[in-house]
Amino acid sequence: MPPRLEWTDDLSVGVEVLDHHHQQIVELINRVSRTMFTGAEADMVTVVLHDLRDYATFHFREEEAHLEAQGYSDLESHRRLHRHMAGQIDEIIAMHDGGPRKVVASELHEFLSNWLVRHIRNADHAYAPLFAPPVQGAYNGT
Ligand SMILES: [Fe+2]
């Protein structure tokens, strides 16, 4: 059984609802691994992969709406990253549908763990300062 992916506080982007989404995605990745590893029916794995795809799509849309509301200057490139990530899940689904043995549970777990964690640490943490509370006592220009 691949080690569970764990959400840790250092992954926080400082927005509770988005952290919650990321935690749900962590759980879905663990569910994909568990389902594959326990040798569940190929159909079951397809269902869980689609759950991951659907939830990630929902989350990407919500996150983009938050960024748009804040006038985030890098929104377009962030959108592109999300589209790319959704496409990667589509590829995994297509690969899996082409024959479950083509996808190895431990390799997929590692791929998806990096897929999420790298995105959070790089792209998501880049927008986090937008939502950070102002520093107390900092010069505010007035
Ligand atoms: Fe993101």
pLDDT exceeds 70 at position 141: no
Residue 138 burial (C-beta neighbours within 10 Å; 0-12, 13-18, 19+): exposed
> Which pLDDT tens digit goes with each residue over 23-32?
999 999 999 9
| Cα–ligand 1 centroid distance for 27 (angstroms) | 17
| Cα–ligand 1 centroid distance for 63 (angstroms) | 6
**Was domain 15-131 assigned CATH 3.40.630.30?**
no
How many angstroms separate the CA atoms of 123 and 130, rounded?
A: 13
pTM to 2 decimal places: 0.91
| Cα–ligand 1 centroid distance for 37 (angstroms) | 28
Domain ranges of the chain: 15-131
Token readout for 56 is: 């990630």
| Cα–ligand 1 centroid distance for 133 (angstroms) | 20
Distances (CA, A) of 1 to 32, 105, 133: 12, 8, 41
Token readout for 38 is: 């326990």
Q: Give residue 139's pLDDT.
A: 63
> Which pLDDT tens digit goes with each residue over 36-87?
888 888 889 999 999 999 999 999 999 999 999 999 999 999 999 999 999 9
At 138, is the pLDDT very low, low, confident or very high (cuts 50, 70, 90)?
Answer: low
Q: Give residue 100's pLDDT.
A: 64
Token readout for 139 is: 């010069």
| Cα–ligand 1 centroid distance for 76 (angstroms) | 11
| Average per-residue pLDDT for the chain | 92
| Cα–ligand 1 centroid distance for 125 (angstroms) | 9
| Cα–ligand 1 centroid distance for 113 (angstroms) | 14
